[in-house]
Amino acid sequence: MADIPQNPPDSRNELVNEATPLVSHQNGVYDRFSRKQKRNIVAMVACCGIIPFFVAGTFIPSIPQVAKDLDTTGAVISFAISLSVFAASVGSLCGSAYSTYYGRRAVYFVGLPLLVVGSFGVAGTHSVPELMIWRFIQAFGAFPAISVGAAVVGDIYTVEERGTAMGIYFSIVLLGPGISPLIGGFMTHYVSWRAMQALLGITTTFLLIWVVVALPETSHPGARGVDKARAEGKKPSWFVNPLRPLALLRSPNILFVSLAGSFVLLTDFVLMVPIAYTIGERYGISNEFLIGACFLPSGAGSMIGAPLAGRLSDRIIIRWRQKRGKWYPEDRLRATLLGALVFTPLSILFCGLLTEYVPGTLGLVLNLICLFFNGIGVDLVLSVSAAYLVDVLQDRSAESLAASDAFRSFVMSFAISAVLPSIDRYGVAVTDAISAISCWLGCGMIWLVIIYGEQMRTWCDIGFKVPTEEN
């Protein structure tokens, strides 16, 4: 794993006036763990965070085989993906609410066992209704790890280190959409789709043991709801309202950033879900392993995009602080613009046009190049947006990330179910063009937050905590 700096590089000192020193590193809350411990924690939560994308991505190349095995159609089986996306939103909300109240570790102790049970359940299913039920349980247990993992990173790194650390975290997590279809396709073609699901269960079992043994509680001392209840002499509550994080979406800052992230991440699913029926059929690829291999460029893009986005956003927020003389959290979002305006919408637009109109090897190669830039673009938006949400809502970081993730999942659960019918009716070029237009709309929303963020935060104050020298 790349080394995450414990202290800002000396080169950054040139970016900040002596009169406006960097955020203090003397705050003991960020010094509880050594550099090595922090790297190990990031590695651990990143491994947990990549599993949800394997739950989704390894299933996609197997859709034709699952449909044949269960005597149904690909469109019906693709609905299982929409259902799992909805389950992901519910799971993220529950996980974040309980992580704020009981701490980060508690969520892993519940979510990972559910993922294990759900994976073995999917592997043994013999009907479509059984598949839907087990996929729901599987996704419900898996997806809280993404938002809670990002919150863990926010717990242990300061504002000026957070973008870099978050970029490294997401560079690992967002490898999932790129490499999981390859692994799923290999297992489906050469073994079976059921074996892949069982392998997920086995892998998660070992991951659970690692977490139980080695993951410390990273919530800031006294910040958990249970700590506050005990300090006030109250009995801790067993029930935590899982819908509580959704109230954060009443802030236009959170809503706009979440909606923009939804449009950007949706491009991944618009490209992934129908790939066997688009790129596969257009270029004569029927081998599930080779279909999955088509997503390797996307994974390579993720490896480049997330670390780039993190470091870029850290440097941007420091440079603009020098100009303003104070922290302005929305400056971090400037690092998303290249991805939201150029890489993501243009890559999916060109994918649709190439698939529709360019045959042969040339069309396939150009499609793979577009997938590479799509991977970069998605990471530029999502990793920076996550760091921004932690910046402005440190005490409720897991909830803000989960509210954003849940909102994205809710939007995508409906959008994904319309992808194959839209391609059947209007064609791949039109469907991809609609997704590209939505990305540009999302980019406009991010720009509004960048320009008017401070005023928008006053419209609905949900407990924003703007970074200062003291936090």
For the residues 141-165, what does the mean pLDDT come to? Answer: 85
The tokens of 468 are what? 């200062």
Does the pLDDT value for residue 20 go beyond 70?
Answer: no
pLDDT of residue 9: 40
Number of Cβ within a 10 Å radius of residue 3: 10
Task: Please tell me which residue, 135 or 22, carries the higher pLDDT value.
Answer: 135
Average pLDDT over the chain, rounded to whole?
82
Q: What's the pLDDT at 466?
A: 60
Residue 162 identity (one-letter amino acid): R
Between 250 and 167, where is the model more confident? 250
Task: Tell me the average pLDDT across 87-93.
Answer: 83
What's the token pair of residue 64?
């034709």
pLDDT in tens, 338-381: 999 999 999 999 998 998 888 888 988 998 999 999 989 988 89
Q: What does the pLDDT look like over 407-429, one tens digit per residue?
A: 887 777 777 777 878 888 888 89
pLDDT in tens, 31-55: 888 889 999 999 999 999 999 889 8
pLDDT tier, 207 (very low <50, low <70, confident <90, very high otherwise): very high
CA 184 to chain centre: 20
The listed CATH number (1.10.3720.10, 3.40.50.720, 3.30.950.10, 1.20.1250.20) that belongs to domain 34-219+243-459:
1.20.1250.20
Query: pLDDT at position 72, please?
Result: 83
What local confidence, expressed as pLDDT, does residue 25 receive?
A: 41
Q: What is the mean pLDDT of residues 96-115?
A: 89
Q: Of the ranges 71-75, 164-168, 182-186, 464-468, which one carries the lowest mean pLDDT score?
A: 464-468
The pLDDT of residue 135 is: 92
Give the type of residue at 19.
A
CB 236 within 8 A of CB 100: no
| Tokens linked to 279 | 């790129």
What is the pLDDT confidence band of residue 211, given thresholds at 50, 70 and 90?
Answer: very high
By the 8 A CB rule, do 151 and 398 touch? yes
> Among all chains, which residue has been given the structure tokens 């799509």?
374
Percent of the chain past pLDDT 90, that is, above it, reads 26
Residue 234 has pLDDT above 60, yes or no: yes
Per-residue confidence (pLDDT) for residue 467, from 0 to 100? 54
For residue 429 the two structure tokens come to: 């070029």
Cα–Cα distance, 429 to 307 (Å, whole number): 31
Which pLDDT score, from 0 to 100, does residue 30 have? 79
* Residue 6 reports pLDDT greater than 50: no
Q: How many CB atoms lie within 10 A of CB 58?
A: 26
- E-assigned strand segments in 122-190: none
| Average pLDDT, integer, range 166-187 | 81
Length of the chain: 471
The larger pLDDT score, comparing residue 416 to residue 283, is at 283
